[in-house]
Structure 1
Amino acid sequence: MEIRDRVAVVSGGGSGIGRATVLELARRGARVIAADINLAGAEETADLAGREGGIVIARRCDVTHTEDLAGAMACAFEHWGQLDIVFNNAGIGGEDLFADDPGPWQRIIEINLVAVIDATRIAVREMRRAGKGGVIINTASMGGLLPMPDSPVYAASKAGVVNFTRSLGYLAAQDGIRVNAICPTFTDTPLVRRSGDERVEEVAKLVGGILQPEDVAAGVIELIEDESRAGAIMRVTVRGGRDYAREVRPY
């Protein structure tokens, strides 16, 4: 898909991978809704894009609320009359599976998996209604492809995103809607930095380095532009760069 003059909605657009992707889409001529529960962060993203001549609208969006997701996509139609690209990127980490309070790990599932399913459902319905196809990209993680003993619920949520995405590959032939996922390894984002700089550097040494949000944004751009990809799972790592997980076909 040619990005210029397209309309995109990016969740988690107020920081990290979401912000980097919003800015890159805007540089390439897309008009973007930067949706984030942190409106101030989304507004800062919009301001950064505007300084470079980009067109970005900030919108507050709690991805666990269906009405917020639907509102962000409706905003795209209200302003520009179309919706071509949806990047379901908002996510969280941090868990103590065996703590007394199940709230934290349940919220990981709600944001990282349930909200991705809900946003994809809404986006497909809107794109079908418009009848012009589109591209949906879901943020998973290398943790969705490999075990994470320290974060098993996070790994489970991202594995769910991977197989959910693979299962929607058929939409490309049926509706012209390509659904793909991106699986970055350890990435330098505000979410990751919450664990402390010392911990970040320690993990970076273990995995051989740390990605920058712009590295992941470049993968998102590739998934948008490469019309051969549907139900694809892109891996982004420091050592291997960008490649694709083995395609899985149903029997």
Structure 2
Amino acid sequence: MSQKNAQHPALKEGNSAVITGGASGIGFAAAKAFIDLGMNVMIADMKSEKLKAAGAELAVLAEKKGVKALAQAADVSDLSALEELECAAVQAFGKVHVLMNNAGIQPATDILGKQMPWDRIIDVNLLGVINGTRIFTPGMIAHGEPALIINTGSKQGITTPPGNPAYNVSKAGVKAFTEALQHDLRNRENCKVEAHLLIPGFVFTPLTAGGRTEKPEGAWTPEQTVDFMLKSLEAGDFYILCPDGEVDRKTDEKRMMWAMGDIVENRPPLSRWHPDYHHAFIDFLSGTPKDLKD
């Protein structure tokens, strides 16, 4: 299915979208897709030449479609910057129908490591989503038209693998917050705003490139991820669990089930990476019945 066939009522010609982290990667791909649907778009990102270039490219695409594309510098960890972003979007478009809280960073962290990267990750990845939602949502509810809030999470917020605890904590928080948000919205009388959790797979973006200039074979492009997102929104999926070229949905599901099984089976935390349970996890993944502990 092409992007043009997306049927969610918020994704229609003449409506407007705001995307944080919109200067590159998934956010920029989403901006292009929304413009292609005939929507007005405002991207927000840190002030940089990258944001300026992205805004210029989107403006050309928007002009061809007869819509608006604007770029605004905003640090989502700054509450006042998010308030200014909401004011700018309403002033430019009148109404916001789609809010995509997509901005994220991933500097390395350790449990007992330096404080600064912990603070920065939580401020951007988690509080940026929470505060962006809390600032934009009242107006989106008030205008009474179908609307979407799409929060970008991560599989690492569900399976929480070793390696970057601050990032895992931030994305686990995004999952919990977005679940609570959707529960709240669906219980508001006459509310036409929905929340959805985007859970990307392995996507080749500036965040994940790690110095590489060529896309790894197993990675999806941002455009593939956004196309999958649009199809999932049309289907009404809350959890937009994206596969990629290396991991299919069945494998993702088993990894997540194993992670929850640590609680249910009273295993050690992160037992998937525990030497006493590693082989049991491999057997579980392959479907071979075995005792949970070798």
Tell me the TM-score normalised to structure 1 length.
0.84
Residue 143 of structure 1 deviates from its aligned partner by 0.9
* Aligned equivalent of 1:12, options 12, 18, 21: 21
- 1:49 aligned partner, one-letter code: L
* Aligned equivalent of 2:211, options 196, 203, 207: 196
Q: Tell me the equivalent position of 2:175.
A: 162
Asked if 1:129 corresponds to 2:142, the answer is: yes
Output the aligned Cα RMSD.
2.6
Is contact 1:143-1:185 (8 Å) kept?
no
Q: How does 1:176-195 map to 2 (within 5 A)?
A: 176-193=192-209, 195=210
* Distance in 2 separating the partners of 1:102 and 1:237: 33
Q: Tell me the equivalent position of 1:233.
A: 239
Structure 2 vs 1, CA of residues 5 and 240 (structure 1 numbering), >3 Å: closer, same or farther?
farther
Q: Tell me the equivalent position of 2:224.
A: 215
- 2:157 aligned partner, one-letter code: G
Q: How does 1:1-251 map to 2 (within 5 A)?
A: 1=9, 2-52=11-61, 53-54=64-65, 55-98=68-111, 100-170=113-183, 171-174=185-188, 175-193=191-209, 195-197=210-212, 209-226=218-235, 228-229=236-237, 232-238=238-244, 239-240=247-248
Residue 241 of structure 1 deviates from its aligned partner by 6.6
Secondary structure in 1 matching 2:108 = coil
Cα displacement string for residues 168-191 of structure 1 (whole angstroms, at most 9, x for unaligned residues): 223034221101110112211112
Residue 133 of structure 1 deviates from its aligned partner by 4.3
Structure 2 vs 1, CA of residues 122 and 109 (structure 1 numbering), >3 Å: closer, same or farther?
same
Is contact 2:109-2:166 (8 Å) kept?
no
Residue 215 of structure 1 deviates from its aligned partner by 1.8
Larger radius of gyration: 2
* Distance in 1 separating the partners of 2:229 and 2:78: 25
Cα displacement string for residues 7-58 of structure 1 (whole angstroms, at most 9, x for unaligned residues): 1100001111111111111111010001111343233222222333253101
* Distance in 2 separating the partners of 1:4 and 1:224: 16
* Distance in 2 separating the partners of 1:191 and 1:168: 26
Residue 98 of structure 1 deviates from its aligned partner by 4.3
Secondary structure in 2 matching 1:163 = helix
* Distance in 2 separating the partners of 1:43 and 1:24: 19
Q: Tell me the equivalent position of 2:262.
A: none
* Distance in 1 separating the partners of 2:57 and 2:113: 42
- Segments ≥4 residues shifted beyond 3 Å: 222-226
Structure 2 vs 1, CA of residues 98 and 144 (structure 1 numbering), >3 Å: closer, same or farther?
closer
Is contact 1:166-1:233 (8 Å) kept?
no
* Distance in 2 separating the partners of 1:240 and 1:38: 37
* Distance in 2 separating the partners of 1:30 and 1:132: 15
Secondary structure in 2 matching 1:49 = helix
Tell me the TM-score normalised to structure 2 length.
0.73
* Distance in 2 separating the partners of 1:130 and 1:237: 35
- 1:87 aligned partner, one-letter code: M
Structure 1 unaligned regions, length at least 5:
247-251
Cα displacement string for residues 193-238 of structure 1 (whole angstroms, at most 9, x for unaligned residues): 2x2229x98xx68xxx112111222233335545x44xx2111121
Residue 104 of structure 1 deviates from its aligned partner by 0.6
Cα displacement string for residues 89-124 of structure 1 (whole angstroms, at most 9, x for unaligned residues): 000002221455211122111111111000111111
Structure 2 unaligned regions, length at least 5:
1-8, 257-294
Is contact 1:76-1:82 (8 Å) kept?
yes
